[in-house]
């Protein structure tokens, strides 16, 4: 056997582990007879022993891998912490009102709120045409009074602005006459 072929089979001599072939008598005979292969095998065994002594070094500082946190999560989490209990209370209240057949009405009699386990018949309580006409006339009268007051204020403002401009123009005319 040639030394190159033997060097490829040094693994059989270096590692006595399960799954590696055991060294053949022919390989062992060549190693005993060849000083070059003996030196190389001895160097490999020394390297193997040194590597077994070598341990991992501890990191210089603790290694922390930051978890990316979604930007929306940072904004919504404090907001949800503040709003969650009122939101749950509102949801429970709405569910209760829905289950109890709540009816909320506002008409000429005022505001009314009724509940019951059985659905109630809806009573028609609408404004008549005359009542609607009266309500609209009242709104228009109030609106007219407010509009009249706003117009008076606007006219007063315009009059004072015109008076200020007239005084400025008069002053400029007097100054230009005195120069001539």
pLDDT tens readout for residues 43-57: 988 888 888 888 777
Output the furthest CA–CA distance in the chain (Å, rounded): 136
The per-residue pLDDT for 147 is 82
Q: How far is CA 12 from the centre of its chain?
A: 61
68-80 pLDDT, tens digit each: 666 655 555 666 6
Q: Are residues 163 and 135 in the same domain?
A: yes
122-150 pLDDT, tens digit each: 555 667 788 888 888 888 888 888 888 88
79-131 pLDDT, tens digit each: 667 778 888 898 898 888 777 777 777 777 777 777 776 666 655 566 778 88
pLDDT at residue 9 tops 80: no
Whether 68 is in a domain gets the answer no
Class of residue 6 by CB neighbours under 10 A (exposed 0-12, middle 13-18, buried 19+): buried
CA distance linking residue 104 with residue 47, whole number of Å: 90
Q: Are residues 180 and 141 in the same domain?
A: yes
Q: Are residues 178 and 133 in the same domain?
A: yes
Q: Which of 85, 114, 143 is the last residue of a domain?
A: 114
Q: Which of 86, 114, 142 is the last residue of a domain?
A: 114
pLDDT at residue 169 tops 60: yes
Given pLDDT bands bounded at 50, 70 and 90, which one contains residue 166?
A: very high
Whether 121 is in a domain gets the answer no
Given pLDDT bands bounded at 50, 70 and 90, which one contains residue 59?
A: low
CA distance linking residue 2 with residue 112, whole number of Å: 109
CA distance linking residue 135 with residue 110, whole number of Å: 15
Q: Are residues 131 and 109 in the same domain?
A: no
Q: Are residues 101 and 141 in the same domain?
A: no
CA distance linking residue 12 with residue 37, whole number of Å: 14
Average pLDDT, the chain: 79
Cα-Cα end-to-end distance for the chain: 132
The per-residue pLDDT for 103 is 77
Q: Are residues 104 and 82 in the same domain?
A: yes
Whether 139 is in a domain gets the answer yes
Across the strands, what pairs with 6? Answer: none
CA distance linking residue 37 with residue 30, whole number of Å: 8
Whether 69 is in a domain gets the answer no
31 neighbors 10 (Cβ within 8 angstroms): no
The dihedral through the CA atoms of 31, 32, 38, 44 has a sign that is: positive
| Parent domain of 94 | 75-114
Q: Number of C-alpha atoms within 13 angstroms, CB side, residue 134? A: 6
The total number of structural domains in the chain stands at 3
The per-residue pLDDT for 85 is 86
31 vs 75: which has the higher pLDDT: 31
């Amino acid at each position: 056997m040639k030394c190159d072929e033997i060097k490829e089979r040094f693994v059989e001599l270096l590692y006595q582990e399960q799954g590696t072939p055991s060294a053949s008598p022919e390989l062992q005979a060549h190693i005993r007879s060849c000083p070059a292969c003996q030196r190389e095998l001895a160097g490999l065994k020394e390297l193997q022993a040194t590597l077994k002594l070598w341990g991992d070094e501890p990191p210089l500082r603790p290694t922390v891998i930051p978890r990316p946190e979604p930007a929306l999560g940072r904004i919504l989490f404090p907001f949800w912490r503040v709003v969650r209990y009122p939101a749950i209370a509102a949801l429970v209240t709405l569910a209760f009102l829905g289950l109890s057949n709540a009816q909320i009405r506002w008409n000429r009699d005022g505001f009314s709120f009724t509940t019951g386990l059985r659905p109630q018949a809806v009573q028609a309580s609408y404004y008549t045409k005359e009542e609607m006409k009266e309500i609209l006339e009242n709104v228009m009268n109030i609106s007219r009074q407010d509009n009249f007051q706003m117009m008076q204020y606007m006219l007063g403002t315009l009059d004072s602005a015109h008076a200020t401009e007239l005084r400025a123009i008069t002053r400029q005319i007097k100054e230009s006459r005195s120069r001539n």
